[in-house]
Amino acid sequence: MPYDCSFLSDLEVAVSFEEGDLESHAADWGTQETDKKTRPDAVVRPESTDEVSTVLAAADDRGVPVTPYAAGTSLEGNAVPAFAGISMDLMGMNEVVDVRPDDFQIDVQPGVMGTAVDDAVAEYGLFFPPLPSSGNLSTIGGMIANSASGMQTVKYGEVGDWVLELEAVLADGSVVRSGSRAVKTSSGYDLKSLLVGSEGTLAVVTEATLALQGRPEQIRGGRAIFPTLDDAAEAVFDAVRSGVDVAKIELIDGLSATMANDYLGSDLPDAPMTFLEFHANHGVEEEVAFCESVFEEHGVERFEMAEEEEMDELWAARRELAFAARAWDPEQQPLHPGDITVPISEYPGIIRYAKELEEEYGLPVPCFGHAGDGNLHYSVLVPDDPEVREVGEQVYRDIVERAIEVGGTCTGEHGIGMGKREYLLLEHGDASVDAMRRVKRALDPNDTLNPGKMFPETLEGGRVRLDADD
Amino acid sequence: MPYDCSFLSDLEVAVSFEEGDLESHAADWGTQETDKKTRPDAVVRPESTDEVSTVLAAADDRGVPVTPYAAGTSLEGNAVPAFAGISMDLMGMNEVVDVRPDDFQIDVQPGVMGTAVDDAVAEYGLFFPPLPSSGNLSTIGGMIANSASGMQTVKYGEVGDWVLELEAVLADGSVVRSGSRAVKTSSGYDLKSLLVGSEGTLAVVTEATLALQGRPEQIRGGRAIFPTLDDAAEAVFDAVRSGVDVAKIELIDGLSATMANDYLGSDLPDAPMTFLEFHANHGVEEEVAFCESVFEEHGVERFEMAEEEEMDELWAARRELAFAARAWDPEQQPLHPGDITVPISEYPGIIRYAKELEEEYGLPVPCFGHAGDGNLHYSVLVPDDPEVREVGEQVYRDIVERAIEVGGTCTGEHGIGMGKREYLLLEHGDASVDAMRRVKRALDPNDTLNPGKMFPETLEGGRVRLDADD
């Protein structure tokens, strides 16, 4: 339903009602052609915390939904309005506010791109380790909202682990600060961590203090090719279990390699392989050798360290896999991308399961991901046929359900958004989801912020407050 | 005021109304002789999640406060009843539930001692890195509740960073699970991190899945002695800023060294010094040399690596400092221990400030702490004279306020409890504390769990719900 957003014209904030703006804010990277899109009624572009606060307070008073938006790289509809209202575009708040190299800290506004953080601190020999693969295209605000992580998470942790302090605006317009510029604190509730991964449903982040790290003196990269996917997955598990100190350990199956070659004109072997990167200040060669010795026990066919240029090619192939899957066969399109994560001991098993389903139903299921974290991205490719599509959806769901069954999560780094709502209950149980709902109602009683996301009852089109029984 | 707790006798849970039990649960390590103690009306000792749930649901129905208690090592009255009612002693829930060495994970009940975790996983070459100094005397449940950290936090982070999943019981008796056994997740609100550091005011943790790490192959320890405290503090700052990879870096001032010598009969130099430990799999000697070269720029007088036995002595001295300060001079007793933490660039300055106040008011202010984190423990020693005591309290407060002013926190690892309530507003501001309050009311609307803690309004003796305006 449309909301009357004319009040925005009276506020001190840039507002647009233009078709093109409304249309572009109705989709994110996860939106597919078959999806029904909901346009916002207005797009606002605040340039300060005050402006964010003004808009939120006014919208909250009027019962108008506000959905934060930035680069739109989310994959589960996290930043797309479910109920029209206001799309709050934060790309204009893109300043690096302060760099404190002595403290390994940077303060940024939410619209700053991931790689812009690295650019801002490179002169001090520092970097921001947990950047997602899309770091050149996505914003720090979006990463915080979705609890993002990336290829280096196996060594350095998630984006949220590197957030020291947040300034954020609640639905009623009040401005909170949480966390500390001290590297540790036990002072009060950890609202900062509550906001990380809350997908804009609790607050709009307006500034973040991030921790940084000194760049490693030794970096080595390469790839390892295995006879079978199972060998590759078992090798990754064994490397992690053995404590190999690796900064990136990505796995792709033979099908994904084929797709990458088709898409990029590259000449990867059409075989299961892992891409690796090692970071150290001392002894990197020993660590590479340690990894190789573990991989040899799993029949590795080639273990090749590469020059930087070659590595760039490899990583390009890895980064483009999501696009490669879409471009591979016009007759078969991927369902939305899987993002399950399991305890590392379950990683070989969940990949075997995906491949069993691939064979059983005759639908391509390319598998790749941040293997060292136990994170598996997969797609199910289906033709334009509703019945086969339904089978594909079931394959997709079977893999998610298996992941949860073995102690994992339905989403390692993409968030719940609209695409994963059906799994929240299955993963966390009634009491835990109800506790989340109570927190949501406490901080956003009118369900102003990004309604229609995360909670399973919104699958039936409700807003959280409409389902409140108190 | 006393609460009628006779209903407990009808529940399936061990309950005690004995004087000795009530008395012992009215104090923690931070309780001083001059403090007025509030005894609980009953002590329950649940042995399962179900029993915790049963007691909480019954108490919540009847408006009876429940204060979780374990080893009692907290320092800010965190585990001591402010309003009588029930002390819930979790020491009986002390089982290691499962160890999964391949996943570097352990599941424990809350009453498991910190060092018992290390004992349980030693055979797999694993350890739990963020243990506090009191790890042999304190429980995992208490560490989680207070967001504890320790000597190795400079390298490995806080206890909370190593908590993967929690089972916990809310005030109404409902059992929630939060987090995942996958090493990363973006699924729903991070209730787990919200519970870490909530000091038993939101839930009672009944089981925790902790992450572990492989033990480093190389460990070196030693100490460095400096001409002045300022040199020592600047050297620590420079080492951290330079990215020296150190696992422990503790600083003690000359006064603390004297106190340790008196207390332990040790023969430390009565000089400012740092204790160090380095962990690595490769190149530990290079890292030690790097540290030494940084320290040399700050005039280090002696930089001595030590054998394991000597190190044990040094660390014993460091661990006993809190007791040493109490024993040093019967005429001058320490006020409760300071626990500020500041950005590392502010560390030399805050120590200078403490020492200026020491000189200005003529009251001993021994300083020590986890210097690499910017964490400073200090005491102000005062004679039994109310006027001088008031001066001492002011010195104590001045240091806390300065820490907050420079971007730090009033408590790095001890929590707010009752002792730091006056600083919560100063550190976080009205809107943030109000957001915490809304979360508290959402999850514990009757203020059943550990009332009288954390929130500044409880300084006037209120319970949170009594101050609710909605």
C-alpha pair distances (Å), A22 with each of A7, A41, A69, B418: 17, 7, 12, 51
Average pLDDT, chain B: 94
Find, among A58, A59, A53, the residue nearest to A40 by Cα: A59
Return the pLDDT at B321.
87
Is residue B155 located within the same domain as residue B244?
Answer: no
Which residue range(s) make up the domain with A432? 421-467
* Residue B192 forms part of a structural domain: yes
Alpha helix stretches (DSSP H) within B196-331:
229-241, 254-264, 284-296, 308-319, 321-327
Please classify residue B426 by burial: count the beta carbons closer than 10 Å to its beta carbon, then call 0-12 exposed, 13-18 middle and 19+ buried: middle
Structure confidence by residue, pLDDT tens digits, B208-251: 999 999 999 999 999 999 999 999 999 999 999 999 999 999 99
User: Which parts of chain A have pLDDT scores under 50?
Assistant: 465-470
User: Residue B373 is nearest to which of A184, A344, A441, comparing CB atoms?
Assistant: A184
CATH number at residue B343: 3.40.462.40
Q: Which B residues 425-444 touch A at CB under 8 Å?
A: 427-429, 431-436, 438-443
Find, among B347, B345, B366, B346, the residue nearest to B355 by Cα: B366
Domain count, chain A: 4
Out of B187, B214, B241, pick the residue that ends a domain. Answer: B214
pLDDT exceeds 70 at position B467: no
Give phi and psi for B44, each to the nearest 5. -105, 150
Find, among B375, B292, B370, B381, the residue nearest to B331 by Cα: B381
A184 vs B436: CB contact, 8 Å cut-off?
Answer: no
Is residue B179 located within the same domain as residue B252?
Answer: no
Residues in B closer than 8 angstroms to A182, CB to CB, are 341-343, 373-375, 403, 407-409, 412
Is residue A202 located within the same domain as residue A281?
Answer: no
B184 vs A282: CB contact, 8 Å cut-off?
Answer: no
Return the pLDDT at A42.
98
Q: Which A residues 364-383 touch B at CB under 8 Å?
A: 373-375
Lowest mean pLDDT among B38-42, B164-168, B307-311: B307-311
Structure confidence by residue, pLDDT tens digits, B173-222: 999 999 999 999 999 999 999 999 999 999 999 999 999 999 999 999 99
- A289 close contact with B: CB closer than 8 A: no
* Residue B412 forms part of a structural domain: no
Out of B190, B214, B238, pick the residue that ends a domain. Answer: B214
* Residue B186 forms part of a structural domain: yes
- A405 close contact with B: CB closer than 8 A: no
Query: How many other CB atoms are found less than 10 A from the CB of residue B401?
Result: 14
Out of B164, B185, B214, pick the residue that ends a domain. Answer: B214
Is residue B247 located within the same domain as residue B195?
Answer: no
pLDDT exceeds 50 at position B463: yes
Give phi and psi for B296, each to the nearest 5. -60, -30
Residues in B closer than 8 angstroms to A245, CB to CB, are 281
- A106 close contact with B: CB closer than 8 A: no
C-alpha pair distances (Å), A78 with each of A29, A31, A75, A108, B309: 10, 10, 7, 22, 56
- A193 close contact with B: CB closer than 8 A: yes
* Residue B392 forms part of a structural domain: yes
Provide the pLDDT confidence category of residue B470 given band limits of 50, 70 and 90: very low
Provide the pLDDT confidence category of residue B22 given band limits of 50, 70 and 90: very high
Nearest CA in chain A to B214: A243
CATH number at residue A244: 3.30.70.2190
* Nearest-angstrom CA–CA distance, B92 and B29: 20
SS3 B77: coil
Lowest mean pLDDT among A15-24, B16-25, B109-118, B458-467: B458-467
CATH number at residue A355: 3.30.70.2740
Is residue B254 located within the same domain as residue B371?
Answer: yes
* Nearest-angstrom CA–CA distance, B331 and A111: 58
Structure confidence by residue, pLDDT tens digits, B65-108: 999 999 999 999 999 999 999 999 999 999 999 999 999 999 99
ipTM of model: 0.96
User: Residue B174 is nearest to which of A412, A431, A442, comparing CB atoms?
Assistant: A431
* Residue B397 forms part of a structural domain: yes
- A446 close contact with B: CB closer than 8 A: no
Is residue B358 located within the same domain as residue B335?
Answer: yes
A194 vs B196: CB contact, 8 Å cut-off?
Answer: no
Return the pLDDT at A1.
64
* Residue B226 forms part of a structural domain: yes
Is residue B180 located within the same domain as residue B304?
Answer: no
Residues in A closer than 8 angstroms to B52, CB to CB, are none
Structure confidence by residue, pLDDT tens digits, B265-293: 888 899 999 999 999 999 999 999 999 99
B412 vs A186: CB contact, 8 Å cut-off?
Answer: yes
Among B185, B186, B242, B458, the strongest candidate for a mutation testing the A interface, having the largest count of A CBs within 10 A, is B186
Is residue A201 located within the same domain as residue A58?
Answer: yes
Residues in A closer than 8 angstroms to B184, CB to CB, are 149, 153, 157-158, 341, 373, 375, 409, 412-413
The C-alpha of A34 sits at a distance from chain B's nearest C-alpha, in angstroms, of 25
Sign of CA dihedral B106, B111, B112, B113: positive
Among B185, B193, B196, the strongest candidate for a mutation testing the A interface, having the largest count of A CBs within 10 A, is B185
* Nearest-angstrom CA–CA distance, B412 and B373: 9
* Nearest-angstrom CA–CA distance, B455 and B102: 42
The tokens for B257 are: 């060294």
Residues in B closer than 8 angstroms to A157, CB to CB, are 161, 184
Is residue B380 located within the same domain as residue B313?
Answer: yes
Beta bridge partners, B409, equal B341
Q: Are B248 and B242 in contact (CB under 8 A)?
A: no
CATH number at residue A108: 3.30.465.10
Return the pLDDT at B1.
64
Residues in A closer than 8 angstroms to B241, CB to CB, are 101-104
* Residue B413 forms part of a structural domain: no
Query: How many other CB atoms are found less than 10 A from the CB of residue A6?
Result: 11
Residues 6+ apart with CB under 8 A from B71: B91, B113, B137, B138, B139, B142
Structure confidence by residue, pLDDT tens digits, B127-149: 999 999 888 999 999 999 999 99
Is residue B79 located within the same domain as residue B152?
Answer: no
SS3 B468: coil
B158 vs A184: CB contact, 8 Å cut-off?
Answer: yes
Q: Are B417 and B30 in contact (CB under 8 A)?
A: yes
* Residue B201 forms part of a structural domain: yes
Q: Which B residues 295-314 touch A at CB under 8 Å?
A: none
A193 vs B193: CB contact, 8 Å cut-off?
Answer: yes
Residues in A closer than 8 angstroms to B339, CB to CB, are 186
Residue type at B147?
A: S
User: Residue A411 is nearest to which of B157, B183, B185, comparing CB atoms?
Assistant: B185
Q: Are A86 and A65 in contact (CB under 8 A)?
A: yes
User: Residue A282 is nearest to which of B100, B185, B283, comparing CB atoms?
Assistant: B283
Is residue B12 located within the same domain as residue B46?
Answer: yes
pLDDT > 90 in chain B, percent = 88
SS3 A305: strand
Instruction: State the count of interchain CB pairs (< 8 A) between A and B.
Output: 284
Q: How far is CA B263 from the centre of its chain?
A: 23
Residues in A closer than 8 angstroms to B424, CB to CB, are 187-188
Is residue A252 located within the same domain as residue A373?
Answer: no
The tokens for A82 are: 């479910």
- Quote the radius of gyration of chain B (alpha carbons, Å): 22
